[in-house]
Amino acid sequence: MKSFISPVTVISGPGSIARVPEEINKFGASKVMIFADPGIVKIGLVNKLENLLAYASIEYVIYSDLEPEPPLEVGDRALQALRESQADFVIGMGGGSSLDIAKAVAVLSANDGRVQDYLNLTGTKQLTNKGLPKMLIPTTSGTGAEVTDIAVFSLETTKDVITQPLLLADIAIVDPELTYTLPPSITASTGIDALTHAVEAFISVNATPLTDALAIDAIERIAANIRTAVWDGANMAARQELSWGSLMAGLSFYNAGVSGVHALAYPLGGLFKLPHGVSNAVMLPYVFDYIWPSCMKKMARMAQALGVNSEHLSVREAAIAAVQALNQIVLDTGVPRTLKDYQIKREDIETLASEGIKQKRLLARSPKPYTIDDIRNVYLAAFEGSLQLGT
């Protein structure tokens, strides 16, 4: 028996940001605190939101002391600022990190303690109060953070999360127009993060026909449009398709979960500060090169969704072709695809493996189990850039 949960109101489509004031007013809020990373403040994306709030006479304050892959202290400072602000509504706007901070502090503001008290691996407290109402506005097509209950934080050597249904947004505004100015490298890494959510949800042991339907549609849309969105960023149709793909991937993985790619990517973020999407991209082909024999039928279906013409292929051949297609997407979108490219050394693999095996919550969803040796070998393949492809 499995459950499917999606209590977030999602308002989507080009121009949907215009709905923000109306949605805030439904909560009778008197002061809004906006958590937005400095990058999107600088390029003027937050101005759009400010103009809407000012026109509707909604009082707001902007907090932008944020950074990607936030360490615990960034979360604690944001929490302190919210507790002192007297705001009664929270907006998170930006990439996944800004959305994660917003949803975490909105809940923590009504609970005792600080961020580390509630971490999945080492926390000691349980969240009990819902906290402030929250709206999440992604400006990338990638993380799915607007529809999940997970907030990720960087620790010294790896990452940990707060994951609790109270973290779910009340409203998500998914407006592809906000992604039109993203540069190629961010479009690529966040788009591959979204693709990773979809393919990992699809082969998860917790997948259901509901999550599969969302995942396979997301894979089709992302695979067919990510190259265009990266290299021809002004192509609005491709941006919109990527936005839908990211949203559907988010809804799918919130329920089915992600597994090996994210588990092995986390230490790359923790130890070497690789951005989340980049660390997933560099592991994606090698993890699927390891797991495909355990889920061949699904991999063969995935191959079709990835655009492979598998008419004359056996199930095994189609499954391998799916791994190749994932590798090709990483290659075509220009994301470096070996650990060497990030100055990671062969002797670092032991530490990476010992951190990766700790991500039991994620690894438990993999259709093929991992030993520490398996994890070491996957990292080694990613280091060398070598795919086995069934040989």
- Smallest distance, Å, CB 284 to Fe ion? 11
Number of H helices, E strands in the chain: 15, 8
Nearer to Fe ion, 170 or 193 (CB): 193
Give the CA dihedral 230, 232, 237, 239, nearest 10 degrees: 30
**Which residues in the 111-130 window bind Fe ion by CB under 5 A?**
none
Nearer to Fe ion, 193 or 241 (CB): 193
| Nearest by Cα to 103 from 74, 133, 60 | 133
Instruction: Give residue number: closest CB to Fe ion.
Output: 193
Nearer to Fe ion, 161 or 300 (CB): 161
- Angle, vertex CA 317, rays to CA 314 and CA 318, nearest 5: 85
Nearer to Fe ion, 35 or 253 (CB): 253
In sequence order, which ranges of 232-275 are alpha helices (DSSP H)?
A: 236-256, 260-272
- Smallest distance, Å, CB 200 to Fe ion? 9
Nearer to Fe ion, 31 or 360 (CB): 360
Distance CA 161, CA 237 (A): 34
| Nearest by Cα to 68 from 153, 136, 128 | 153
- Smallest distance, Å, CB 191 to Fe ion? 11
**Which residues in the 218-237 window bind Fe ion by CB under 5 A?**
none
Is 146 among the residues that bind Fe ion (CB under 5 A)? no
Q: What are phi and psi of 361, to 5 degrees?
A: -55, -40
- Smallest distance, Å, CB 303 to Fe ion? 22
Identify the helix (H) or strand (E) that includes residue 62: strand 59-63
- Smallest distance, Å, CB 262 to Fe ion? 6
Nearer to Fe ion, 131 or 245 (CB): 245
Which amino acid makes up residue 116?
Q
- Smallest distance, Å, CB 258 to Fe ion? 6
Report how many residues bind Fe ion under the rule CB under 5 A: 1
**Which residues in the 176-195 window bind Fe ion by CB under 5 A?**
193
Is 69 among the residues that bind Fe ion (CB under 5 A)? no
- Angle, vertex CA 338, rays to CA 260 and CA 305, nearest 5: 55
Residue that is written with structure tokens 């249904």 in the block: 165
Q: Are the beta carbons of 56 and 89 closer than 8 angstroms?
A: no
Nearer to Fe ion, 29 or 249 (CB): 249
**Which residues in the 261-290 window bind Fe ion by CB under 5 A?**
none
Is 200 among the residues that bind Fe ion (CB under 5 A)? no
Is 100 among the residues that bind Fe ion (CB under 5 A)? no
Which amino acid makes up residue 300?
A
- Smallest distance, Å, CB 193 to Fe ion? 4
Distance CA 316, CA 303 (A): 11
Residue ranges in contact with Fe ion by CB under 5 A: 193
